[in-house]
Structure 1
Amino acid sequence: MPDGRSILKDGSASEATLAHVAMLYYREGLTQGEIARRTGVSRATIVNWLRLAREQNVVDIRIRGESFAASPLARHVAERFGLVDVYVAHGDADPLPPSAMLDRTAALGAQAMRDLLDDGDRLGVAWGETVLRMAKTFPTAQLPGLMVHQLIGSMYADQLFAAETCTIEIARRLGAGCRTLHAPAILSSGDLAARLRKEPVIAGQLAAFSGLTKALFSVGDVSDRTTLVAAGIGTTEDVAWYRERGAAGVLSCHFIDHDGQPMTGPLTDRTIGVAPEVLRNVPLRMLVVSGEEKLDATRALIRGGFVTHLVTDEASARILLDS
């Protein structure tokens, strides 16, 4: 039984008490009622303490990401497209709202990547809403030998899914080093971008991408609502130009056609970030994506050889398998 002094006057519990209760519940398998009787508090209090233990990271509940790659659906998609592994986030009996399904897929992506990371890895992180949702749910760890690299330059946007936000949060949760990219994602002219790429600091950061061991990214569609436009680093006119010429998706600010090949256009020379050919050479490349509107872009990235590991929702996985 925890020392009575660990229960504070307001009824809350010390970290030691939360850890003790969590150990009884998760490791020793006692029921909430049994713990309540043992500690001399109500069952409702135990329920609250277990919640606090999770929220305060006293206990870190992990489900092995590889378990989600063991389903027949995941194996069939991997075999169909020649991928190393596919992880499928399953839905409920009643369809989830798109945002809830995206949350579930992003959390699975975070867990899957955490399981694959080793101390000493060099992880490249892209940006966007999906990547930010992953960043917020990454299991905590202490990997001081891991270095997390921002793959695309910074942006001025009200949204919180900017590239540096995603990179810093993942590095923080993993106890890792962090290298942000100190340049805008899109410059006003190709000449200015070229000069910036030659600056020693920027040149060194870009050169470091060739040493990445793993990469984590999502993909944007080519609608007028794509994240590129939402973040204020591209216009609807820019997107329309690429879309009219066969673009299927946007990968780290680079437009990709339906065959999975990078396209040259008005934004190409103005972009500062990882080059598509460099990203394609990273040994482990994880795409995390949810929603039917991203299927064309997903197929394109797979065709282009950008993906070794895919994390997606069940409905998208079934459509991919049937296509």
Structure 2
Amino acid sequence: MNKTTAPQRSSGEKEALLSNVALLYYGEGLTQGEIAKRMKVSRATIVNMLRESRELGVVEIRVDGHFLTGSNLARELREKFSLEDVYVAQPASETVRMSRAQSLEQLARVAAMAVLDVVEPGDRLGVAWGETIMAVADAMPRNAVPDVEVCQLIGSMISERVPASENCTIQIANKLGAQCFTLHVPGLISSVELARQLCAEPTIQMQMERLKSLDMAIYSVGNVTSQTHLVAAGMTSEEALADAVAAGAVGILCCRYLSADGAQIDLPPQDRLIAADVADLKSARKKLLVVCGTDRADATLACIHGGLATHLVVDKPLALALLDV
């Protein structure tokens, strides 16, 4: 956001931005000055945005002691795992159980603000695929950042849960006013030999080379249960997944298996994948990991231990589970 002239926004985009600011202030307990620093605007702008969010009914002020723990949770996680920053999505009510869809929607709004906090002019940004990243892309307001490149981390894939993988990349690029580089090849190839041949093509080589020099990457991590997206998308079988678990896999990152220490486990279908590998992601200066649900605690810890997270966005139940480890 420009400090002097705010871009024109639709009413929906404006409300989304106001909601994100309100979540940081009322939900996470950040000061107006801290929010202003993250958003790269003046403190007066944040004051006005908070006032407007109350006037429009985006925020209903209600004192609840549980919300005061949000900022402490984030700070404790940041200190425990030596992370640069942590964002904790707070539930609307401590007494009403939220569905996963509701938790994910709330987490995505917080993560959308985190993206705008972390991305900087001139960054090359890698974007993964999945229901969590698609939710983040949907929640992001339009906020142009100069000279940003957005690159697709996983070749084209589609599943019943999530639209084509390039949708995540294209939508985030549009929201940031960035140049977009999609991977013009399927994410999973029918044979190992064909995958090798495609990767040898100059155009694909050039696209994959961009993924080795990322400034920032945005991704989530999946668990290794039979409900994982890797199985749902038809990229592996339950039998192959069981073999990976037996070999020590605790999480799935960009369709690649992770061990408990965050190392890549080279098991099928990795030899038929066209996607960033774990080393590409680890080399990025800024790694924004967005995770919803305690069933992904082990996978989240694997990313943290493997140096695959500098910035973390989690829901409150997962935050508490990570602190209990």
Structure 2-normalised TM-score?
0.79
The question of whether the paired residues in 2 share the 8 Å contact of 1:69 and 1:88 is answered with no
Paired with 1:113 and 1:132, the residues of 2 have a C-alpha distance of 13
The question of whether the paired residues in 2 share the 8 Å contact of 1:65 and 1:111 is answered with no
Counterpart check, 1:82 vs 2:82: yes
* Cα displacement (A) at 1:230: 1.5
Correspondence for 1:247: 249
Paired with 1:59 and 1:75, the residues of 2 have a C-alpha distance of 25
Paired with 1:158 and 1:130, the residues of 2 have a C-alpha distance of 14
Compared CA separation, residues 129 and 56, structure 1 to 2 (3 A): closer
Superposed CA deviations along residues 145-187 of structure 1, whole A, max 9, x for unmatched, are 1111000111143443432011011111221111111111111
Superposed CA deviations along residues 184-217 of structure 1, whole A, max 9, x for unmatched, are 1111222211111110111001101122111000
Compared CA separation, residues 100 and 206, structure 1 to 2 (3 A): same
The question of whether the paired residues in 2 share the 8 Å contact of 1:64 and 1:111 is answered with no
Paired with 2:16 and 2:241, the residues of 1 have a C-alpha distance of 45
Compared CA separation, residues 267 and 175, structure 1 to 2 (3 A): same
Correspondence for 1:206: 208
Superposed CA deviations along residues 261-303 of structure 1, whole A, max 9, x for unmatched, are 1101121211111111111010000100010111110011111
Correspondence for 1:300: 302
The question of whether the paired residues in 1 share the 8 Å contact of 2:213 and 2:283 is answered with no
Correspondence for 2:94: 93
Equivalent position amino acid for 1:298 in 2: T
Compared CA separation, residues 65 and 176, structure 1 to 2 (3 A): farther
Correspondence for 2:280: 278
* Cα displacement (A) at 1:115: 1.8
Paired with 1:151 and 1:238, the residues of 2 have a C-alpha distance of 23
Structure 1-normalised TM-score?
0.79
Superposed CA deviations along residues 289-321 of structure 1, whole A, max 9, x for unmatched, are 010111110011111111111100111111111
Choose 155-164 or 143-152, whichever is displaced more. Answer: 155-164
Task: Report the 3-state secondary structure (helix = DSSP H, G, I; strand = E; otherwise coil) of the residue aligned with 2:138.
Answer: helix
Correspondence for 1:54: 11
Paired with 2:16 and 2:276, the residues of 1 have a C-alpha distance of 36
* Structure 2 counterparts to residues 142-157 of structure 1, below 5 A: 142-157=144-159
The question of whether the paired residues in 2 share the 8 Å contact of 1:131 and 1:161 is answered with no
Compared CA separation, residues 139 and 241, structure 1 to 2 (3 A): same
* Cα displacement (A) at 1:116: 1.7
Task: Report the 3-state secondary structure (helix = DSSP H, G, I; strand = E; otherwise coil) of the residue aligned with 2:180.
Answer: strand
Superposed CA deviations along residues 61-112 of structure 1, whole A, max 9, x for unmatched, are 2417865385111111111111111110111222322211111111111111
The question of whether the paired residues in 1 share the 8 Å contact of 2:16 and 2:140 is answered with no
Paired with 1:59 and 1:264, the residues of 2 have a C-alpha distance of 41
Gaps of 5+ in 2: 1-8, 31-70
Gaps of 5+ in 1: 1-51
Paired with 2:261 and 2:141, the residues of 1 have a C-alpha distance of 35
Correspondence for 1:164: 166
Paired with 1:197 and 1:264, the residues of 2 have a C-alpha distance of 17
Paired with 2:178 and 2:322, the residues of 1 have a C-alpha distance of 35
The question of whether the paired residues in 1 share the 8 Å contact of 2:121 and 2:146 is answered with yes
Correspondence for 2:190: 188
Task: Report the 3-state secondary structure (helix = DSSP H, G, I; strand = E; otherwise coil) of the residue aligned with 2:283.
Answer: coil
Correspondence for 1:233: 235
Correspondence for 1:63: 21
Paired with 2:13 and 2:205, the residues of 1 have a C-alpha distance of 40
Superposition CA RMSD, Å: 2.0
Question: How many aligned positions are there?
Answer: 272
Correspondence for 2:132: 130
* Cα displacement (A) at 1:254: 0.6
Equivalent position amino acid for 2:179 in 1: G
The question of whether the paired residues in 2 share the 8 Å contact of 1:213 and 1:283 is answered with yes
Task: Report the 3-state secondary structure (helix = DSSP H, G, I; strand = E; otherwise coil) of the residue aligned with 1:247.
Answer: coil
Paired with 1:124 and 1:146, the residues of 2 have a C-alpha distance of 11
**Structure of greater Rg:** 1
Compared CA separation, residues 84 and 241, structure 1 to 2 (3 A): same
The question of whether the paired residues in 2 share the 8 Å contact of 1:69 and 1:86 is answered with no
Paired with 1:300 and 1:197, the residues of 2 have a C-alpha distance of 28
* Cα displacement (A) at 1:237: 2.2
Equivalent position amino acid for 2:94 in 1: A
Correspondence for 2:45: none
Compared CA separation, residues 65 and 183, structure 1 to 2 (3 A): farther
Task: Report the 3-state secondary structure (helix = DSSP H, G, I; strand = E; otherwise coil) of the residue aligned with 1:63.
Answer: helix
